[in-house]
Chain A
Amino acid sequence: MASHAKAAQKFARQLFAMSIVDGAVSADRVAGVLEYVEKHHPANPVMVLKAYRRLVAAEIAKSLAVVEHAGAINDAMLAAIAASMTKKYGRSVTATARPSPALLAGLRVQVGDDIYESSVAGQLAVLAASV
């Protein structure tokens, strides 16, 4: 079982490497990969596609700044965040807004694994942990 999972992971990585064009995930290549998997039925296709999906999702997340906000946010602010993140990570990052009243006030920006916490809820959580 473990060896199947390893083989599927390895194959998924190879498919993922083929899906990258100029440092970003290419929609055409992804479509090609899916077509290939459907046609050729590799061993453990579900395992392969799940691992492939995880890798693609992680890569897409690196180019997307998800801006959670409690108050109002305008396009100019989103553009400023996207520009700032593009400069910081050295790759093209787009920003998308997601309302989140649970933050109480402020912003929470997620780019890949990194989270930039500037919300009241986040600060309260830090305070609660330190008490």
Chain B
Amino acid sequence: MSTVLEQIEQQIAKLSSKAVKKNTGNIRTVADGVAKIDGLSDVMYNEMVQFPGGAIGIALNLEEDEVGCVILGDISQLKEGDEVTTTGRLLSVPVGKELLGRTVDALGNPVDGKGPLGAKEFYPVERIAPGIIVRKGVSQPLFTGIMALDSMIPIGRGQRELIIGDRGTGKTTITIDTIINQAKINKVGLASGDKNFRPVYSIYVAVGQKNSNIVRTLSALEAAGALEFTVVVAAPAADNPANQYIAPYSGAAMGEWFMENGMDALIVYDDLSKHAVAYRQISLILKRPSGREAYPGDVFYLHSRLLERAARLDGKGSLTALPIVETLAGDVSAYIPTNIISITDGQIFLETDLFNQGIRPAVSVGLSVSRVGSAAQIKATKQVGGKLKGELAQFRELAAFAQFGSDLDAKTKAQLERGNRIVELFKQPAFAPQPIELQVAVLFAMQKGLFENVEIQKVSAAAASLKNFFTTRKDALLAEIRTKAALDKDLEARLQAACEEWKSSYSA
């Protein structure tokens, strides 16, 4: 018994002799998620500091005789004079496959009631983006499942493609469709047993969104069976601005884990306008000098350092980013939209007018662009849809002129008719992404003039019938397009025959 006591005493002696150094300060003021602290003379920029009651903060303003911190967590118990200590650590969040299917807050704590995450690894929220040498060009496609995008504005793995438009134009829907499509592709790919198949995992970061919207998104993902391949990071409108500010970086850290470990990931920032607003709020309370639209001077760096973390790494994986930006009255020349347009590798512009005309997704072909271009397309899509963007842009121009005159020559009329048919063909319901092989088949049919005798209003119905025909009766043909990813003469002939077969059986 005495040995046991001796052991305990030795342990006490060992512990007692260890003096732990802490650097401390005291809260001078606390308001709106931001605390001004006296002391903390050793604190470093972006260092995590510990508040009483378990709340943590990040040191953002290091001034001569005070430190400005944003507080993450419950601030209701904090008061003037409370002791704050430095931790010597950067803010980190859990990462790994354990997060798939889960909804977490900006700090990586689960908020879905499904219990602890069980994550084994942690990544710092703020990291330096990969440099030039480790990067590789974007050349692998990331299919959105939306025909208008995959054929005209293709997105590649590792690309940053901005989705921009007014409120209620379907920006979130495009990203949810893309996430659902990744899940569908993952399921097919993993079931095929193909060793070269690379699944794409998704991270959806909701910043400043209504809780009801986040629940709706979660329900859509769950209903489509996509949640198991997705991590949702939620910093809703009711969260304090510090959490909304940090959430995209937390999501990026989670995505980086997949990229660093040889996997591909897709991250959606929904949306960066609200993120900028949260940062503006923090900056104004920290009394940082404000610039244009009252945003602080480093608002460009706020988004550039975030989006630069999306990349395709040589010998590793990739992180594709789809940031969303909301415009006011279609004004793309506002401060935040122009900043993000200049950072990203292209944008998908959604127009309210098109949306109200029933053209959904309401993609404006003229203003949308993918700087990666056809490098991120499979050959089959290039073969059947290579000229579509030009044709559609020409159609929009002609349609604008046609409004002023009634006498049109036959060629112009034919061009307008064809344009209208393409527009109809590209209409797609929400949460119903199409596999790329089906898109190829439909576009092939369009190129071969299969819809020329169909009334414009009935083109959508005809296309739906054709898709149904292919999925139910020509499954093998679709599978071959998927695996070959290009149309050779034999495939083209068989596609032509299938189209003829459908045409003979279809009555409008």
Which residues of chain B are near A54, meaning CB under 8 Å?
A: 38, 65
B23 within 8 A of A: yes
A113, B42: Cβ atoms closer than 8 Å: yes
Which residues of chain B are near A126, meaning CB under 8 Å?
A: 20
**How far is it, in angstroms, between the C-alpha of A113 and the C-alpha of B18 when the chains are bound?**
19
A113, B25: Cβ atoms closer than 8 Å: yes
Which residues of chain A are near B12, meaning CB under 8 Å?
A: 120
Closest beta carbon of chain A to B286's beta carbon, Å: 12
> Among the listed B16, B41, B287, which residue makes an inter-chain contact with A118, where contact means beta carbons less than 8 Å apart?
B16
Chain B's interface size range is 20 to 34
A113, B20: Cβ atoms closer than 8 Å: no
Which residues of chain A are near B38, meaning CB under 8 Å?
A: 54, 58
Which residues of chain A are near B133, meaning CB under 8 Å?
A: none
From known contacts A58-B38, A113-B23, infer whether A120 and B65 are also in contact, taking CB-CB under 8 Å.
Answer: no
B15 within 8 A of A: yes
**How far is it, in angstroms, between the C-alpha of A2 and the C-alpha of B29 when the chains are bound?**
14
Closest beta carbon of chain B to A96's beta carbon, Å: 18
Query: Which single residue of chain A is at the shortest CB-CB distance from B86?
Result: A113
Which residues of chain B are near A9, meaning CB under 8 Å?
A: 65
B16, A115: Cβ atoms closer than 8 Å: no
B140 within 8 A of A: no
**How far is it, in angstroms, between the C-alpha of A26 and the C-alpha of B157 when the chains are bound?**
66
B21 within 8 A of A: yes
Binary interface profile of A, 1-20, with partner B (CB < 8 Å = 1, else 0)? 01000000100010000000
B24 within 8 A of A: yes
Binary interface profile of A, 95-131, with partner B (CB < 8 Å = 1, else 0)? 0000000000111011011111110101100100000
**How far is it, in angstroms, between the C-alpha of A114 and the C-alpha of B20 when the chains are bound?**
10
From known contacts A54-B65, A55-B65, infer whether A122 and B23 are also in contact, taking CB-CB under 8 Å.
Answer: no
Which residue of B19, B21, B24, B40 has the most chain A CB atoms within 10 A of its CB atom?
B19
Which residues of chain A are near B41, meaning CB under 8 Å?
A: 112-113
Closest beta carbon of chain B to A73's beta carbon, Å: 14
Which residues of chain B are near A109, meaning CB under 8 Å?
A: 19
From known contacts A106-B16, A120-B16, infer whether A115 and B65 are also in contact, taking CB-CB under 8 Å.
Answer: no
Query: Which single residue of chain A is at the shortest CB-CB distance from B16?
Result: A106
**How far is it, in angstroms, between the C-alpha of A113 and the C-alpha of B23 when the chains are bound?**
5
Binary interface profile of B, 1-36, with partner A (CB < 8 Å = 1, else 0)? 000000000001001111111111100000000000
**How far is it, in angstroms, between the C-alpha of A28 and the C-alpha of B220 when the chains are bound?**
73
From known contacts A58-B39, A58-B65, infer whether A114 and B22 are also in contact, taking CB-CB under 8 Å.
Answer: yes
Interface of A is mostly: mixed
Which residues of chain B are near A106, meaning CB under 8 Å?
A: 16
**How far is it, in angstroms, between the C-alpha of A116 and the C-alpha of B18 when the chains are bound?**
9
Which residues of chain A are near B64, meaning CB under 8 Å?
A: 13
**How far is it, in angstroms, between the C-alpha of A114 and the C-alpha of B41 when the chains are bound?**
9
From known contacts A55-B65, A58-B65, infer whether A116 and B42 are also in contact, taking CB-CB under 8 Å.
Answer: no
> Among the listed B17, B20, B40, B287, which residue makes an inter-chain contact with A117, where contact means beta carbons less than 8 Å apart?
B20
Q: Scan residues 467-487 of chain B and give those whose CB is less than 8 A from a CB of chain A.
A: none
**How far is it, in angstroms, between the C-alpha of A113 and the C-alpha of B12 when the chains are bound?**
27
**How far is it, in angstroms, between the C-alpha of A58 and the C-alpha of B39 when the chains are bound?**
8
> Among the listed B15, B19, B24, B287, which residue makes an inter-chain contact with A113, where contact means beta carbons less than 8 Å apart?
B24
Closest beta carbon of chain A to B14's beta carbon, Å: 11
From known contacts A105-B16, A120-B16, A123-B15, infer whether A113 and B40 are also in contact, taking CB-CB under 8 Å.
Answer: yes
Which residues of chain B are near A115, meaning CB under 8 Å?
A: 21-24, 85
B40, A114: Cβ atoms closer than 8 Å: no
A113, B16: Cβ atoms closer than 8 Å: no
Query: Which single residue of chain A is at the shortest CB-CB distance from B18?
Result: A118
Which residues of chain B are near A117, meaning CB under 8 Å?
A: 19-22
**How far is it, in angstroms, between the C-alpha of A41 and the C-alpha of B383 when the chains are bound?**
84
Closest beta carbon of chain A to B12's beta carbon, Å: 8
Query: Which single residue of chain A is at the shortest CB-CB distance from B64?
Result: A13
Binary interface profile of B, 63-81, with partner A (CB < 8 Å = 1, else 0)? 0110000000000000000
**How far is it, in angstroms, between the C-alpha of A75 and the C-alpha of B210 when the chains are bound?**
63
**How far is it, in angstroms, between the C-alpha of A2 and the C-alpha of B15 when the chains are bound?**
48
Query: Which single residue of chain B is at the shortest CB-CB distance from A6?
Result: B287
A118, B21: Cβ atoms closer than 8 Å: no
Query: Which single residue of chain A is at the shortest CB-CB distance from B15?
Result: A123
Query: Which single residue of chain A is at the shortest CB-CB distance from B28?
Result: A54
Closest beta carbon of chain B to A13's beta carbon, Å: 8
From known contacts A113-B40, A115-B24, infer whether A2 and B287 are also in contact, taking CB-CB under 8 Å.
Answer: yes
Binary interface profile of A, 48-88, with partner B (CB < 8 Å = 1, else 0)? 00000011001000000000000000000000000000000
Which residues of chain A are near B40, meaning CB under 8 Å?
A: 113
> Among the listed B15, B16, B18, B23, which residue makes an inter-chain contact with A114, where contact means beta carbons less than 8 Å apart?
B23
Query: Which single residue of chain A is at the shortest CB-CB distance from B40?
Result: A113
Which residues of chain B are near A112, meaning CB under 8 Å?
A: 39, 41
Which residue of A54, A110, A114, A116 has the most chain B CB atoms within 10 A of its CB atom?
A114
Query: Which single residue of chain B is at the shortest CB-CB distance from A126?
Result: B20
**How far is it, in angstroms, between the C-alpha of A123 and the C-alpha of B18 when the chains are bound?**
10
B19, A116: Cβ atoms closer than 8 Å: yes
From known contacts A54-B65, A55-B65, A58-B39, infer whether A116 and B20 are also in contact, taking CB-CB under 8 Å.
Answer: yes
B20, A118: Cβ atoms closer than 8 Å: yes
**How far is it, in angstroms, between the C-alpha of A109 and the C-alpha of B21 when the chains are bound?**
9
Which residues of chain A are near B287, meaning CB under 8 Å?
A: 2
**How far is it, in angstroms, between the C-alpha of A30 and the C-alpha of B485 when the chains are bound?**
83
Closest beta carbon of chain B to A33's beta carbon, Å: 17
Query: Which single residue of chain A is at the shortest CB-CB distance from B39?
Result: A113
The 7 residue pairs across chains A and B that have the minimum distance between CB atoms = A118-B19, A113-B39, A115-B22, A116-B19, A113-B41, A117-B20, A113-B23
**Extra inter-chain contacts (5) besides given A107-B19, A115-B23, CB under 8 Å:** A54-B65, A105-B16, A113-B24, A114-B22, A114-B42
Instruction: Give 14 CB contacts A-B under 8 Å.
Output: A55-B65, A105-B16, A114-B23, A114-B42, A115-B22, A115-B23, A115-B85, A116-B21, A116-B22, A117-B20, A118-B18, A118-B19, A118-B20, A120-B12
